Structure 1
Amino acid sequence: MTAKFVSYLRVSTQQQGRSGLGLEAQRAAVVAYVAGRGELLREFVEVETGKGADALERRKELRLALETCRRAGAVLLIAKLDRLARNVHFVSGLIESGCDFIAVDMPNANKVMIQMHAVMSEYERDQISARTKAALAAAKARGVALGRKGMDNLRPNIEERQKAADAFALRLKGIVDGFQTSGLSHRAMAAELNAVGVSAPRGGKWTHGQVQRLLARLS
């Protein structure tokens, strides 16, 4: 009997949704998994943050995907487990939905293993946030200016601006090194910096591109 699958693809920002960034890689992983194993009935794509205890309720496309799985007797298929959530409450709710699901990057994981993965991911996320806040507090105690205030003394001269930008990047080096050690993606780094209140070089929120430029400056 041919297995039936329903795929669920997710990106966490409207910009990623418009550009397709991340979706094609997820789709390719799903298609490769289904090949020779069964039939892909339908694909659902979600664009949202995924944060908060009510993440399952707020994901309309995931709810539709689960309902399709129940009606068709299909298995929910995702490319990566962390695309569902690093949230124990959310993963527990998904397991309690009664639908079988498979993560392509952990195809042999049972529900207990998936719950443990969510627990460890949530713990690591909290630890990263705590380490970041501690590093920022230590930097401020030393009189280090972060964010827009740290850039106020930039002069019109290009060379002076470059020096100031380099100095600003160095102030964040310890924090960024911790992010890299933890294996965070550039988008995850931006999210962490925004979450703890570090302003981007010219003020405002950090973006994926700004993190890339910061890393390039530090390399």
Structure 2
Amino acid sequence: MLSVIAYYRVSTKSQGESGLGLEAQKAYVETACKAHGWEVVAEYIETVSGSIAPVERPECAKALSHGLPVVVAKLDRLSRDVEHIASLMKRVSLKVATMPQADNFQLHLFAALAEQERAFISQRTKEALQALKDRAEGGCEVSIQKIANRSAVKPQGSKDVALATAREARTQKANTFATTVEATIALAQSKGHTTLQAIALFMNERKVFTANGGEWSATQVSRILKRLIVDAA
């Protein structure tokens, strides 16, 4: 049996006090440990922003000091910065409960792809805003009205800020919902429901509804899993 150190991180004081996300993280780790013969010999919990380098976080530093593999529920519990991840890999072996078979090279690749995707999303948002402005300048009445609606809420010079704020609110709402169903998905996986369709059926049987109040499909489960892996907590 492989001895591992469990590390859990929540991002804000309120999350730390309420346990938001912590229960789900532990459920993922416990499921992975049972399935792959890992034994947690110590665990560390920290309430800190993911922007702080892992080695500069007191509890994470303690976890690393053991010299044993460190297991986390999701890679972003360590960091979303690919440089941080690469630095950690030089010190310890990393285990991720949501990707238990991945080795350090694969995790490094995943971190790089996730960082690139975030950059792509940012660029696409900027391009969509510019396209809207271009259509408005070309006389498109719908685009003109959309810009006018935003301007009525924010000053003309703050349109980008208003758009970013609205996008952040939508993202936060989606992330919060994903967190509320995370433990149920982990429970489904622990009971052997490993396919997207099987998880969807598990959720529907237990009357756990989607964010819109409907039933789950494999596609919706896939979207939630992706958000849980690369969410912006």
TM-score by length of 1: 0.61
Indicate the residue corresponding to 1:126 in structure 2: 119
How do residues 97-112 of structure 1 correspond to structure 2 at under 5 angstroms?
A: 97=91, 99-112=92-105
Indicate the residue corresponding to 1:206 in structure 2: 169
Q: CA deviation at 1:89?
A: 0.4
Q: CA deviation at 1:13?
A: 2.7
Indicate the residue corresponding to 2:50 in structure 1: 50
Q: CA deviation at 1:39?
A: 3.0
Q: Is the 8 A contact 1:26 1:79 kept in 2?
A: yes
- CA RMSD after TM alignment: 3.3
Q: CA deviation at 1:124?
A: 0.5
Q: CA deviation at 1:28?
A: 1.1
| Matched pairs, number | 163
Q: Is the 8 A contact 1:7 1:77 kept in 2?
A: yes
Q: Is the 8 A contact 1:8 1:44 kept in 2?
A: yes
Indicate the residue corresponding to 1:91 in structure 2: 85
Identical columns (%): 33
Deviations 1:124-165 (A, max 9, x none): 01001111122223334424438974437xxxxxxxxxxxxx
Counterpart check, 1:78 vs 2:78? no
- Which stretches of structure 1, 4 residues or longer, exceed 4 Å deviation after superposition? 209-213
Q: Is the 8 A contact 1:13 1:49 kept in 2?
A: yes
Q: Which of the residues 47, 62, 65 maps onto 1:64?
A: 62
Q: Is the 8 A contact 2:78 2:85 kept in 1?
A: yes
- For residues 103 and 147 of structure 1, do their structure 2 counterparts lie closer, same or farther at Cα, with a shift above 3 Å needed? farther
* Equivalent position amino acid for 1:50 in 2: G
Measure the CA separation in 1 of the matches of 2:166 and 2:46. Answer: 28
Q: Which of the residues 147, 150, 153 maps onto 1:151?
A: 153
Q: CA deviation at 1:55?
A: 2.0
Structure 1 unaligned residues grouped into runs of 5+: 153-192
Q: CA deviation at 1:211?
A: 8.5
Structure richer in helix, relative to its length: 2
Measure the CA separation in 2 of the matches of 1:149 and 1:56. Answer: 41
Describe the SS at the equivalent of 1:135: helix
Describe the SS at the equivalent of 2:85: helix
TM-score by length of 2: 0.58
Q: Is the 8 A contact 1:11 1:17 kept in 2?
A: yes
* Equivalent position amino acid for 1:130 in 2: Q
Measure the CA separation in 2 of the matches of 1:8 and 1:100. Answer: 13
Q: Is the 8 A contact 1:87 1:122 kept in 2?
A: yes
